[in-house]
């Protein structure tokens, strides 16, 4: 019995996931008549979190489609902005994305973050339990079946990471409303309420404060505020 083959063409946006020889044009791929197209695509190295439409001989098919001999498959990237119906848009970031987590929180985006490595099963389980989009650069983690939703973070630069996430998901931005340390909501606070967290210079120089309703951390416009304002201004200018 002759082996069955399909022709697979992966969109340029997804080329980094596949072997170099398959990055341009359509290439033959052996199939067994049993495995789903989703399984076949993952075997190429492409996480299904990054796949939008799967088009077979001009018609769109689900990932459960079982490819037949001679079919031509186009693998397209997700459509931006990407939507996840059924839950408010919120994120879960793995241990390697701490800076991105703090910047998303700075912009008021609901962002859970694990500062220690709790393991892939626990991260996937939390994504499902809380219906959060898991952001990671770990392709294996993004292939876990129990994930509610996930997305690959393409860059190692925090600036580029933030730009990509905001462009891909278009979350609502509410700067200065969340604690960058724990993701809790901020509330106005008096100097007396946060006095135990203030040093002498801060005590004398500042009068406007906010405090996290969850962890109690105090915030004021200190030495790094100008840098944070620049991050917020760039995000609002492009994505608000």
Give dist(CA 127, CA 125) in Å, integer: 5
pLDDT, tens only, 186-240 = 999 999 999 999 987 777 788 899 999 999 999 999 888 999 999 999 999 999 8
Cα separations in angstroms, 187 against 113, 192, 215 = 21, 14, 12
Torsion sign, CA atoms 115, 120, 121, 125: positive
* Predicted confidence (pLDDT) per residue in 116-155, tens digit: 899 999 999 999 999 999 999 999 999 999 999 999 999 9
d(CA 128, CA 145): 10
Residue 83, pLDDT above cutoff 70: yes
18 burial (CB, 10 Å; 0-12 / 13-18 / 19+) is middle
When pLDDT is cut at 50, 70 and 90, the band that residue 2 belongs to is: low
pLDDT, tens digit, for every residue of 44-76? 999 999 999 999 999 999 999 999 999 999 999
CA angle 53–91–49, rounded 5-degree value: 20
Contacts for 129 with CB less than 8 Å, ≥ 6 apart: none
The tokens describing 118, both together, are 């709790």
The closest alpha carbon to 131, from 105, 156, 112, 157, belongs to 112
Asked if residue 3 has pLDDT above 80, the reply is no
Q: How far apart are CA 169 and CA 186, in angstroms?
A: 24
Is residue 25's pLDDT more than 90?
A: no
Give the confidence band of 24 by pLDDT, cuts at 50, 70, 90: confident
Q: What is the pTM of this model?
A: 0.93
> Cβ of 23: how many Cβ atoms within 10 Å?
14
SS3 string of 145-159? Answer: CCCCEEEECCCCCHH
Summarised one tens digit per residue, pLDDT across range 84-125 is 888 789 999 999 999 999 999 999 999 999 888 999 999 999
43: exposed, middle or buried (Cβ count in 10 Å: 0-12, 13-18, 19+): exposed
């Amino acid at each position: 019995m002759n082996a069955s083959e399909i022709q697979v063409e992966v969109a340029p946006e997804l080329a980094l996931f596949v072997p170099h020889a398959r990055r341009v044009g359509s290439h033959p791929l052996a199939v067994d008549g049993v495995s789903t197209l989703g399984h076949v695509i993952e075997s190429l190295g492409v996480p299904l979190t990054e796949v939008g439409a799967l088009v077979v001989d001009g018609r769109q098919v689900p990932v459960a489609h079982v490819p037949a001999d001679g079919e031509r498959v186009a693998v397209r990237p997700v459509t931006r902005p990407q939507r996840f119906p059924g839950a408010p848009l919120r994120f879960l970031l793995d241990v390697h994305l701490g800076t991105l987590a703090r910047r998303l929180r700075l912009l008021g985006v609901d962002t859970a973050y694990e500062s220690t490595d709790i393991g892939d099963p626990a991260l996937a389980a939390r994504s499902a339990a809380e219906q959060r989009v898991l952001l990671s650069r770990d392709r294996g983690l993004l292939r876990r079946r129990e994930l509610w939703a996930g997305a690959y973070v393409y860059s190692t630069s925090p600036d580029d990471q933030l730009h990509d996430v905001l462009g891909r998901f278009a979350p609502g931005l509410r700067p200065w409303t969340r604690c960058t340390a724990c993701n809790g909501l901020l509330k106005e606070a008096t100097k007396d309420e946060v006095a135990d967290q203030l040093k002498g210079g801060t005590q004398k120089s500042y009068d406007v404060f906010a405090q996290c309703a969850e962890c109690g951390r105090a915030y004021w416009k200190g030495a790094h505020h100008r840098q944070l304002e620049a991050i917020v201004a760039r995000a609002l200018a492009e994505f608000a």
